Every structure is written in C-alpha cells, then in structure tokens.
Copies of this chain bind each other. A is one copy, B any other.
Amino acid sequence: MPKLYWEDFKAGQVVDYGPRLVTAEEIKEFAAAFDPQPMHLDEEAARATMSGGLCASGWHTCSIMMRMIVDGFIFNSSSMGSPGVDEVRWLAPVRPGDHLTVRASVLETRSSNSRPDRGFAKFCFDMFNAAGIRVMTLTTPLIIGRREHGNVQR
C-alpha cells in the first residue's frame, strides 16, 4: 500500500474501518485503570445505574477508535499528530459483544501557511455498532506531511 501524504486526502472522501469486537473483560479492565464508575466496572452494579448494564467508558470508546484509525490509515501516512479534538459526542452506549465500525470522512483540507512541509485535514469519525446505531461522533484536525517535501516523519 503506498504511503499516504497530505495530497492524498480530499474533502468528501469516506472510508470505513473495522469491525472491532468489544469484550466485557476489556471494558472492565479499562474502567479499573481510568474510569472506575459502576456502569463500566461490574455487570451487577451497572444494572442499577442509568445505563442499565455494563457499557464502555467514553474514553475507552475514543481509545478504541484511535486504534482503529491508526491501523486503518494513520500508521501508513505521514501524520504529524493532532492539536486536539474539536468535539466528541457519546450518542449511545457501547456494550460487551458490540462489533464497532468507524467511518472516516474528510471534511476539509488546507495547506499550512507557515510550514510548507505540511497541511491540515479535518476529519469526522463516526462510530457505529452492528445494528447501525451511531454510538459516537468525533471531529478532529490532523496535521499531515506533504509528499513533495519528502516528509517521512510521524
């Protein structure tokens, strides 16, 4: 697969990644480390919460999405990272047994005015479960090296 540079990303492109199975074990393991609230930590305790059963921490969902897009295209690109995230919305619970897919959409691209070796691409990442329910949406700008500058940094 040829390496992807900023020039390869165009507004309107849409690519799907996954599916990725989510297990109860990893939901509980992530929660124990980073988000030890009852709905993420224990089936029994989760049933007594608003979520009505075990569900993944929103940060776990973000992290799973990151892994899917790193495997999907970031690792094979001249990505130079991201300054942050413009918006995250957790729309529906992520449950044990869910098979998640991510739809990556390029919203817009622009070259850098100050740094000729790079450009920006704004992405929307929508995550769906196997029932087609959108569980998360996230918008983020990526900084990507330009081909003509032979940038190979990650």
Interface size of A in residues (CB-CB distance below 8 Å): 37
8 Å CB interface, A36-52 against B: 36-39, 49-51
Cβ of A130 within 8 Å of any chain B Cβ, yes or no, is no
13-69 of chain A: CB within 8 A of chain B: 30, 33-39, 49-51, 57-60, 62-64, 66-67
Chain B residue at smallest Cβ distance from A55: B81
Give the chain B neighbours of A153 by CB distance below 8 A. Answer: 49-50
Task: Confirm or deny: A8 has a beta carbon within 8 angstroms of a beta carbon on chain B.
Answer: no
Establish whether residues B75 and A83, one from each chain, have CB atoms under 8 Å apart when the complex forms: no
Is A34 touching B67 in the complex (CB atoms < 8 A)? yes
Closest to A49 in B: B154
**CB-defined A-B contacts under 8 Å, sample of 18:** A34-B66, A35-B66, A36-B75, A37-B79, A37-B154, A39-B154, A49-B153, A50-B80, A50-B81, A50-B153, A58-B84, A59-B59, A59-B62, A60-B63, A82-B90, A83-B90, A85-B85, A87-B87
Q: What 5 A-B pairs come out closest when comparing CB atoms?
A: A84-B89, A34-B63, A85-B88, A84-B88, A34-B67
